[in-house]
Structure 1
Amino acid sequence: MLLPTLPVTGSWRASVRIFLLIILLCCSGCTHLANDEWTGRDKAQHFLSSAFLAAAANAYAERQNWSPSHSAGFGVLFSISLGAAKELNDSRAGGTGWSWKDLSWDVAGAATGYVLWNTAR
């Protein structure tokens, strides 16, 4: 017996990935959260490193002859995933604690890196 299939589009896949990421972050089991400020030296480091990583990953993907949309997605998601991994590492018992503020600066930096890379090329 054949089962009906649903058409799978790129936007549907992206929505599922974002939903799964949100579920994963909500269930990550952080041992403790950071009590930090919105500004500070570490926030600038998060922003700048995420911007650099997004631009570098975008450049790498373009050099692999990926389409512009795939290159952009790879660059931004690569940068954000490294920021989330760093926060997950910070959330362990001996770490400084999970910081949603740090992750927010990571996302802002990744978006800025993407924009600057596409503006500069």
Structure 2
Amino acid sequence: MRYLLLCGVLLLSGCSHMANDSWSGQDKAQHFIASALLSVAGNEYAQHQGIGRDRSAAIGVMFSLGLGASKELWDSRSEGSGWSWKDFAWDLAGATTGYTVWQLAQH
């Protein structure tokens, strides 16, 4: 886990430029909804593969956040819109909401 975190920090430190965006907007809702759905899908898929409930939850959230981070890394290219911590914060909120909804549906 430490190595994964270290790789993430090193990758993110190379962003070519940052976005100048607001906290609200249509793209923020899209980040939230997509991350929630990806988290639920990852949770459900992992559980159908015979993985335990707690581990499935972690896989779902990390799947969602991994795709969100990849999208922001793509945006950070010189031709892109720039890395947005605000977009990533909405990704995090969506992934945790998806996780919560999935957990509640399991009871």
TM-score, normalization: structure 1?
Answer: 0.81
The 1-side partners of 2:58 and 2:42 are apart by: 10
The 2-side partners of 1:23 and 1:58 are apart by: 25
Cα shift readout 1:58-114 (whole Å, capped 9, x = no counterpart): 000000010111101100000000000000000001100000000000011000000
Partner residue in 1 for 2:6: 20
Give the superposition deviation at 1:119: 0.7
The 2-side partners of 1:111 and 1:21 are apart by: 22
Q: Which has the larger radius of gyration?
A: 1
The 1-side partners of 2:37 and 2:10 are apart by: 26
The 2-side partners of 1:26 and 1:85 are apart by: 10
Question: Percent of aligned positions with the same letter in both sequences?
Answer: 54
TM-score, normalization: structure 2?
Answer: 0.92
Q: Does 1:75 align with 2:42?
A: no
Instruction: Give unpaired runs (5+ residues) of structure 2.
Output: none
Structure 1 runs of 4+ off > 4 angstroms? none
Contact 2:12/2:73 (8 A) holds in 1 = no
Residues paired across the two proteins, number: 106
Higher RCO (CA 8 Å, separation ≥ 6 residues): 2
Give the alignment's Cα RMSD to 1 decimal.
1.4
Give the superposition deviation at 1:22: 5.2
Of 61, 80, 99, the residue aligned with 1:114 is 99
